[in-house]
């Protein structure tokens, strides 16, 4: 029996730039790492590459002017309502700049006390002391009179004022509404972009009733504007600020990349290694209440061996119930035998209760995001070994 389970390594690479051969860089970096701090490649190891360097190597960028052009084409009336944009300078400020450059008026509907990923504009204690509840609707003036400043709890920035100044700097008028009912926007305009991430399809369907003119943010920049970058599936969702006039989009060639890397590693190592692209992890900070997942999915591309969900037994349950009278090596051997003969699908079984019913790519992506971080670690590639092992693995 192996005495070590899952091992995760952050792999350093050269700094990735536009149009680099990312597949070769990833493979070369893995080979170099395996020599400098020796490890051997095994079947069912996992290579994960952060979406940031995939998008960079693709050269998949758009400018604020590109966004403005797409907005003018889709909303020639010159006014638009924005439903539930997240409060983020990195994620949304340049998108908002492009929208403001493309129209004359924006009506922005914000949820409260926080956006969908947990960025707050209101201390929840103030809401609890207020006669109002989460079903209320406020104008900007009413909201400030009742609750005070819109201060982000971590950055200390008044995000409503930040967004207002950004919009007005583009010569665009803005009006803010605060409501947790997305249909409130239709009282102000029938031209709408729903900017929510994980409820995007439901919200668009809700707002599109009665012939309203509605696009999802995933449908903005979903085709090129005069040779620009684009993402046919996610549009501007998952984008990040690159410069003051340019955004990097969520990658669109990830599937081609992961299979190219898998083929290269198979040829060199003789092993069948799984490969995925990952963005944000899918976890929530219990203190700050920030939900990390601001990308449309955790993994936009992965090889076939990463499909599905874990099929695991809950060892604690088996030990306490099925083998309550066993101890030591006898208990370990009995559990190992139980693992070897487990059903191929344990869904709904008491033997699997308490295991995590999430997709493998979401679990692995979260592990990778925590490993690589979003700062200066310089490890855009993560190598995972033993993830599919269990207590019975030899």
Tell me: do 112 and 226 sit in the same domain: yes
Two structure tokens written together for 202: 């439901």
Let me know if residue 349 belongs to a domain. no
Query: What angle do the packed helices 93-102 and 159-169 form, to 10 degrees?
Result: 40
Say how far apart CA 96 and CA 74 lie, in whole Å: 15
Residue 298: inside a domain: yes
Where among 207, 223, 248 does a domain terminate? 248
pLDDT score recorded for residue 192: 98
What is the pLDDT at residue 2? 66
- Within a domain: residue 332? no
CATH number at residue 89: 3.40.50
Give a yes or no: residue 13 inside a domain. Answer: yes
Q: Which residues partner with 46 through β-bridges?
A: 274, 384
CATH number, position 54:
3.30.1330.100
- Residue 351 belongs to a domain: no
- 222 and 294 in a single domain? The answer is no
Strands (E), 6-98: 7-11, 46-50, 61-63, 79-83
Name the residue range of residue 258's domain: 7-59+252-310+356-385
Residues 22 and 65 in one domain: no
Q: What pLDDT is stored for residue 74 in this prediction? A: 97
Domain match, 97 and 219 both: yes
90/220 same-domain check: yes
Task: State whether 242 and 97 are in the same domain.
Answer: yes
**Domain boundary pick from 197, 216, 248:** 248
DSSP per residue, 245-301: TEEEPPPS-HHHHHHHHHHHHHHHH----EEEEE-S---B-TTT--BS--SS-S-SE
Residues 244 and 258 in one domain: no
Is there a single domain that holds both residue 135 and residue 53? no
CA distances to 48, 97, 241, 394 from 71, rounded to whole Å, are 35, 11, 18, 58
Last residue of a domain, one of 248, 278, 294: 248
Please report whether residue 347 resides in a domain.
no
In sequence order, what are the residues at sequence separation of 6 or more whose Cβ sits closer than 8 angstroms to the Cβ of residue 312?
Answer: 346, 352, 355, 390
Is the residue at 203 inside a domain? yes
Q: If residue 55 lies in a helix (H) or strand (E), which one and from where to where?
A: helix 51-58
Residue 369 CB contacts under 8 Å (≥ 6 apart), including other chains: 278, 279, 280, 281, 292
Question: Quick one: 131 and 159 in the same domain?
Answer: yes
For residues 21 and 114, state if they share a domain: no
> How far, in Å, CA of 5 to CA of 277, rounded?
23
pLDDT at 103: 98
pLDDT at 266: 98
Same domain, 239 and 183: yes
Region for 87 from its dihedrals, namely left if φ exceeds 0, alpha if ψ lies in -120 to 50, beta otherwise: beta
For residues 120 and 130, the answer to whether their CB atoms sit within 8 Å is: no
Q: At which residue do the structure tokens 């860089």 appear?
A: 25
Average pLDDT per run of 10 along the chain, which is 394 residues long? Answer: 82 95 98 96 97 95 98 97 94 97 98 86 71 82 78 76 96 96 96 97 92 95 96 96 95 96 98 96 73 89 89 58 68 61 49 60 93 81 89 57
257 shares a domain with 223: no
Residue 263 belongs to a domain = yes
Q: In what order do the strands lie in the sheet with 61-63?
A: 61-63, 246-248, 240-243
Report how many domains make up the chain. 2
């Amino acid at each position: 029996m192996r005495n070590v389970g899952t091992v995760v390594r952050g792999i350093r690479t050269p700094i990735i730039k536009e149009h680099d051969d990312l597949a070769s860089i990833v493979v070369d970096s893995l080979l170099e790492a395996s020599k400098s701090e020796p490890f051997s490649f095994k079947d069912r190891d996992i290579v994960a590459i952060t979406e940031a360097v995939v998008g960079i190597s693709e050269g998949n960028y758009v400018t604020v002017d590109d966004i403005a052009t797409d907005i003018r084409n889709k909303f020639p009336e010159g006014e638009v309502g924005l439903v539930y944009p997240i409060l983020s300078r990195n994620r949304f400020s340049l998108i908002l700049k492009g929208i403001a450059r493309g129209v004359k008026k924006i009506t922005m509907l914000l949820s409260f006390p926080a956006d969908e990923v947990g960025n707050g504009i209101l201390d929840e204690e103030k809401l609890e002391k207020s006669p109002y509840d989460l079903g209320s609707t406020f104008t900007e003036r009413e909201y400030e009179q009742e609750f005070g400043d819109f201060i982000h709890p971590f950055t200390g920035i008044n995000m409503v004022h930040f967004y207002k100044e950004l919009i007005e700097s583009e010569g665009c008028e803005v009006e803010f509404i605060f409501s947790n009912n997305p249909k409130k926007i239709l009282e102000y305009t029938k031209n709408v972009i729903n900017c929510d991430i994980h409820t995007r399809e439901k919200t668009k369907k809700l707002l599109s009733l009665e012939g309203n003119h509605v696009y999802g943010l995933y449908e903005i920049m979903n085709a090129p504007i005069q040779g620009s970058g684009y993402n046919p599936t996610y549009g501007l969702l998952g984008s990040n600020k690159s410069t003051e006039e340019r955004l990097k989009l969520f990658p669109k060639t990830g599937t081609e990349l992961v299979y190219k890397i898998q083929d290269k590693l198979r040829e060199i190592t003789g092993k069948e290694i799984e490969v995925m692209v990952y963005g944000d992890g899918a976890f929530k900070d219990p203190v700050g209440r920030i939900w990390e997942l601001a990308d449309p999915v955790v993994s936009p591309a992965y090889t076939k061996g990463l499909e599905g969900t874990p099929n695991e037994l809950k060892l604690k349950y088996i030990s306490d119930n099925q083998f309550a009278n066993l101890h030591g090596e006898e208990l370990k051997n009995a559990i190992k035998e139980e693992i070897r003969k487990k059903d191929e699908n344990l869904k709904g079984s008491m033997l699997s209760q308490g295991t995590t019913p999430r997709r493998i790519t979401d679990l692995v992506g979260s592990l990778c995001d925590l490993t690589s971080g979003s700062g200066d670690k310089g490890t855009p590639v993560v190598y995972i070994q033993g993830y599919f092992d269990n207590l019975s693995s030899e």
